[in-house]
Amino acid sequence: MKTLRNTFALAAIIVSCATFVAALPRPANDPNAEYELISGGAQVGPKPTFVPVTRKPLIINTPPPTPANSKNFAFDPITKTWTLVKKDAPIPSEGTLIWNQSNDKWLTETARRV
């Protein structure tokens, strides 16, 4: 009889804990939680006003594709000089530093806007 009472008490505790965990609020920054709140302000017309609560999409600052007239330069660490890389030239070695004129201009303009 005592073990039956202990088993029942344990089952009641487990059920109440599961109910408590299920009732916890979901995080507000969950991107999948798209819902709307009804505004408590003045109502216009017979239907309630819906207020979106999802955040605006994030803007990722990536440079646009380089134009056809863009110039690439390669840096030679031995002579400390920059050399123009032509379009039909083979790709320099993996450790070579490449600078693209158009991307640099775009990054500079973006930095000024901020």
What pTM, to 2 d.p., does this model score?
Answer: 0.34
pLDDT for position 112: 46
Cα distance from N-terminal residue to C-terminal residue, the chain: 74
What average pLDDT does the segment 8-17 reach? 82
Min mean pLDDT across 28-32, 42-46, 81-85, 105-109 is at 105-109
- Tokens of residue 56, six digits: 């605006």
pLDDT band at 110 (very low <50, low <70, confident <90, very high): very low
| Residues 83, 76: Cα–Cα separation, whole Å | 8
- CB environment 53-70: b (16+ within 10 A), e (fewer): eeeeeeeeeeeeeeeeee
pLDDT for position 79: 84
pLDDT for position 114: 43
- Tokens of residue 32, six digits: 């999948």
Please give the residue that has the higher pLDDT: either 86 or 20: 86
Taking the CA atoms of the chain, what radius of gyration do you get in angstroms? 31
What average pLDDT does the segment 77-94 reach? 81
pLDDT for position 14: 87
